[in-house]
Chains A and B, each alone.
Chain A
Amino acid sequence: MKLGNQEVTWEQVRHILLWIALPLVISILIAAAVPRPVIGLIYLNDAIYSYTAQDMIAQINYAREHPEVRAVVLVMDSPGGTVADTEAVYLELLHLRQTKPVVTSVGSMAASGAYYLSVGSDYIFAKPTSDVGNVGVIGYLPPSPLIFEDIASTGPYKLWGSPRDTYMREMEMIKQGFYQAVRLGRGDRLKVGPEVILRGQIWPGSEALRLGLIDALGAESEAVAKAADLSRVSHYQVADLYALAGVQSSSSAFFYQSPEGISMPYPKELGLYLLYIPPLPVEK
Chain B
Amino acid sequence: MNTLKRYQIWIALAVLTLPILARGLWFYRGIPSHPKIQAPDYAGASISQPPISTAVPEETVNPAGQVVVLDYNHSNLYDPSKIQVLVSALTARGARVEFDDGYLYLDTRLKYASAYIVISPTYAFSIDEANQVRQFAQRGGRLIVFTDPTHGIYDSDYISGNILMIPDVNAANTLLEPFGVTFSGDYLYNLLENEGNFRNVLFTQFGEDDLTRGLSQVALYGAHSVSAENGKALITGDESTFSSLTDSSESPLSGSGQALAAAALSADGNALAVGDFTFLMPPYNQVADNSLLLGAIADFALSGTRTHTLADFPYLFGHQASLLTVGDLQMTADLLAPVASLQSALQWTNTSLVVAPKAVSGSDTIVLGLLTPSDDLDRYINTFDLGLEDSASITIPGFGQIGRAGIGLMLYKPGGVNNTLILLTDLPEDLPALVSLLTSGDMSACVIQNNIGVCSIDYSGSTYDTTPPEEEIQITETSTPSG
Query: Chain A residues in contact with chain B, CB under 8 A?
Result: 15, 18-20, 22-24, 26-28, 30-32, 34, 36-37, 70, 87, 91, 94, 97-101, 122, 165-166, 168-173, 176-177, 180-181, 184, 194-195, 198-199, 230-236, 279-283
CB of B196 within 8 Å of the partner chain:
yes
Contact B196 A165 (CB under 8 A): yes
Whose C-beta in chain B lies nearest to the C-beta of A22? Answer: B12
CA distance A99 to B31 in the complex (A): 11
Known: A20-B11, A166-B47, A180-B41. A195 touches B35 (CB 8 A): no
Contact B161 A177 (CB under 8 A): no
Contact B191 A232 (CB under 8 A): no
Contact B30 A283 (CB under 8 A): no
Residue pairs across A and B with Cβ atoms less than 8 A apart, 21 shown, are A24-B19, A26-B16, A27-B20, A28-B19, A31-B19, A87-B42, A94-B39, A97-B34, A122-B35, A165-B50, A168-B196, A168-B200, A170-B47, A172-B196, A173-B45, A184-B39, A194-B191, A198-B191, A232-B29, A235-B26, A235-B27
Determine the chain A residues whose CB is within 8 A of the CB of B45 once the complex forms.
173, 176-177
Taking a contact as CB atoms closer than 8 A, the residue among B12, B39, B47, B198 that contacts A19 in the complex is B12
Determine the chain B residues whose CB is within 8 A of the CB of A231 once the complex forms.
32
Q: Chain A's nearest CB lies how many Å from the CB of B145?
A: 26
CB of B469 within 8 Å of the partner chain:
no
CA distance A212 to B434 in the complex (A): 82
B 180-206 to A, binary, CB cutoff 8 A, 1 in contact else 0: 000000000001101011101000000
CA distance A18 to B159 in the complex (A): 87
CA distance A262 to B38 in the complex (A): 41
Contact A34 B23 (CB under 8 A): yes
In the A-B complex, list the 7 residue pairs whose CB atoms are closest, starting with the nearest: A180-B40, A23-B16, A169-B196, A31-B23, A198-B191, A31-B19, A283-B161
Q: How many contacting A-B pairs (Cβ < 8 A)?
A: 127
Taking a contact as CB atoms closer than 8 A, the residue among B12, B47, B247 that contacts A23 in the complex is B12
Contact A31 B30 (CB under 8 A): no
CA distance A31 to B39 in the complex (A): 38
* Residues 350 to 395 of chain B near chain A (Cβ within 8 Å): none
Taking a contact as CB atoms closer than 8 A, the residue among A32, A87, A165, A230 that contacts B283 in the complex is A165
CB of B46 within 8 Å of the partner chain:
yes
Q: Chain B's nearest CB lies how many Å from the CB of A228?
A: 9
Contact B197 A169 (CB under 8 A): yes
Determine the chain B residues whose CB is within 8 A of the CB of A36 once the complex forms.
27
Determine the chain B residues whose CB is within 8 A of the CB of A180 once the complex forms.
40-41
Taking a contact as CB atoms closer than 8 A, the residue among B41, B49, B197 that contacts A168 in the complex is B197
CB of B464 within 8 Å of the partner chain:
no
Size of interface on B: residues with Cβ below 8 Å to A: 50
CB of B15 within 8 Å of the partner chain:
yes
Contact B32 A31 (CB under 8 A): no
Contact B8 A19 (CB under 8 A): yes
Interface residues of B, dominant DSSP:
loop
Query: Chain B residues in contact with chain A, CB under 8 A?
Result: 8-9, 11-13, 15-20, 22-24, 26-32, 34-35, 37-42, 45-50, 159-162, 191-192, 194, 196-198, 200, 240, 242, 247, 283
CA distance A172 to B198 in the complex (A): 8
Known: A198-B198, A235-B27. A23 touches B13 (CB 8 A): yes
Contact B16 A232 (CB under 8 A): no
Contact B41 A27 (CB under 8 A): no
Determine the chain B residues whose CB is within 8 A of the CB of A280 once the complex forms.
161-162
Whose C-beta in chain A lies nearest to the C-beta of B249? Answer: A195
Whose C-beta in chain B lies nearest to the C-beta of A166? Answer: B47
Contact A233 B28 (CB under 8 A): yes
Contact B160 A282 (CB under 8 A): yes
Whose C-beta in chain A lies nearest to the C-beta of B190? Answer: A195
Known: A28-B19, A31-B19, A99-B34. A173 touches B46 (CB 8 A): yes
Determine the chain A residues whose CB is within 8 A of the CB of B247 once the complex forms.
199
Contact A101 B32 (CB under 8 A): yes
Contact A172 B19 (CB under 8 A): no
Contact A195 B17 (CB under 8 A): no
CA distance A280 to B247 in the complex (A): 24
Contact A177 B28 (CB under 8 A): no
CA distance A168 to B219 in the complex (A): 15
Whose C-beta in chain A lies nearest to the C-beta of B159? Answer: A282
Determine the chain A residues whose CB is within 8 A of the CB of B13 once the complex forms.
23
Whose C-beta in chain B lies nearest to the C-beta of A34? Answer: B23
Q: Chain A's nearest CB lies how many Å from the CB of B160?
A: 6
CA distance A283 to B18 in the complex (A): 69
CA distance A172 to B30 in the complex (A): 44
Q: Chain B's nearest CB lies how many Å from the CB of A21?
A: 8
Given contacts A24-B15, A233-B29, 5 further A-B contacts (CB under 8 A): A172-B194, A172-B197, A194-B191, A195-B192, A233-B27
CA distance A183 to B45 in the complex (A): 15
Whose C-beta in chain B lies nearest to the C-beta of A180? Answer: B40
Contact A98 B34 (CB under 8 A): yes
CA distance A15 to B12 in the complex (A): 10
Known: A31-B23, A34-B24, A172-B196. A232 touches B18 (CB 8 A): no
CA distance A219 to B268 in the complex (A): 64
Q: Chain A's nearest CB lies how many Å from the CB of B401?
A: 70
CA distance A186 to B226 in the complex (A): 38
Determine the chain A residues whose CB is within 8 A of the CB of B29 once the complex forms.
232-234
Contact B37 A94 (CB under 8 A): yes
Q: Chain B's nearest CB lies how many Å from the CB of A139?
A: 10
